[in-house]
Chains A and B, each alone.
Chain A
Amino acid sequence: MPLEPRRVSGPFARMRTSLSWRSDRSELWRYIGWRLIQLAIVLIGVSIVVFFTMHVLPGDVAMLLLGDRGTAEQLAKLRLQLGLDQPVVVQYLRFVLAAAHGDFGTSLTSNRAAFDDVSTAFPVTLQLTLAALTIATVIGVPTGVFASLRPGRTFDNLAMTFTLFGVSMPIFWLGLMLLLAFGATLDWLPIGGLSEVGMEPPRITGMSLIDAALAGSPSMFWDALRHLILPACTLATVPLAFIARITRAEMLATATQDHVRTAMAKGLPRARVIVRHVLRNALIPIVTVIGLQLGLLLSGAVLTETIFSLPGLGRLMVDSILSRDYPVVQAGALFIAFVFVLVNLLVDLSYRLLDPRIRRA
Chain B
Amino acid sequence: MTIAAPYPSLGAAKERWYAPAARVLRRHEAKLGLAIVLGFLFLTVAAPLLAPYDPYDQELASALAPPSAQHLFGADQYGRDVFSRVLYGSRTALLAIIVADGLALLLGSALGLIGGFLGGAVDAIVMRLVDVLLAFPYLLLALIIVAALGPSLTNSMIAIGIVYTPQYARLIRGQVLAVRALDYVRAARAIGTPRWRIMLRHVLPNSFGPVIVMATLQAGSVVVETAGLSFLGLGAQPPSPDWGALLADGHNYFLTAWWIATFPGLAIFGVVLGFNLIGDALRDQFDPRRRT
A221 at the interface (CB under 8 A from B): no
Q: How far is the CB of B250 from chain A (nearest CB, A)?
A: 7
A204 at the interface (CB under 8 A from B): no
Contact A318:B280 (CB < 8 A) given known A176-B247, A177-B262, A336-B140:
no
Q: How many residues on the B side are at the interface (Cβ–Cβ under 8 A)?
A: 48
A151 at the interface (CB under 8 A from B): no
Q: What does the 1/0 interface line of A288-332 toward B look like (CB < 8 Å)?
A: 000000111011101100110000000001100110001001000
Contact A337:B147 (CB < 8 A) given known A42-B131, A45-B131, A169-B269:
no
Q: What does the 1/0 interface line of B261-284 toward A look like (CB < 8 Å)?
A: 110111011001100110010000
Q: Bound state CA distance, A179 and B143, in angstroms?
A: 25
| A residues near B268, Cβ cutoff 8 Å | 170, 173
Q: Which of B198-206, B208-216, B220-228 contacts A (4 or more CB under 8 A)?
A: B220-228
Contact A46:B272 (CB < 8 A) given known A56-B148, A336-B137:
no
Q: Bound state CA distance, A306 and B277, in angstroms?
A: 29
Q: How far is the CB of B257 from chain A (nearest CB, A)?
A: 11
A267 at the interface (CB under 8 A from B): no
Query: Would you call B272 and A317 a contact (CB within 8 A)?
Result: no
Q: How far is the CB of B249 from chain A (nearest CB, A)?
A: 11
B129 at the interface (CB under 8 A from A): yes
Q: How far is the CB of B233 from chain A (nearest CB, A)?
A: 6
Task: Choose among A170, A298, A306, A336 the residue that contacts B272 (Cβ–Cβ < 8 A).
Answer: A170
Q: Bound state CA distance, A173 and B193, in angstroms?
A: 54
Q: How many residues on the A side are at the interface (Cβ–Cβ under 8 A)?
A: 52
**Nearest-neighbor residue (CB-CB) of B244 within chain A:** A172
Contact A317:B135 (CB < 8 A) given known A170-B265, A176-B265, A180-B254:
no
Task: Choose among B133, B150, B276 the residue that contacts A168 (Cβ–Cβ < 8 A).
Answer: B276
A80 at the interface (CB under 8 A from B): no
Q: Bound state CA distance, A58 and B137, in angstroms?
A: 25
B5 at the interface (CB under 8 A from A): no
| B residues near A294, Cβ cutoff 8 Å | 137
- Total residue contacts A-B, CB cutoff 8 A: 142
A165 at the interface (CB under 8 A from B): yes
Within 131-156 of B, Cβ neighbours of A (below 8 Å) are at 131-133, 135-140, 143-148, 150-151
| A residues near B138, Cβ cutoff 8 Å | 295, 299
| A residues near B129, Cβ cutoff 8 Å | 45
**Nearest-neighbor residue (CB-CB) of B256 within chain A:** A184
**Nearest-neighbor residue (CB-CB) of B225 within chain A:** A299
Query: Would you call A295 and B137 a contact (CB within 8 A)?
Result: yes
A167 at the interface (CB under 8 A from B): yes
Q: How far is the CB of B30 from chain A (nearest CB, A)?
A: 13
Task: Choose among B147, B244, B250 the residue that contacts A321 (Cβ–Cβ < 8 A).
Answer: B147
Known: A298-B137, A341-B135. 4 other contacts (CB 8 A): A165-B273, A318-B234, A321-B147, A333-B144
Of all A-B residue pairs in the complex, the 3 with the closest CB atoms, nearest first, are A173-B265, A45-B132, A299-B139
* 12 residue pairs A–B, Cβ–Cβ below 8 Å: A38-B131, A49-B133, A58-B150, A170-B272, A172-B231, A173-B247, A176-B250, A176-B251, A176-B261, A249-B290, A302-B139, A333-B140
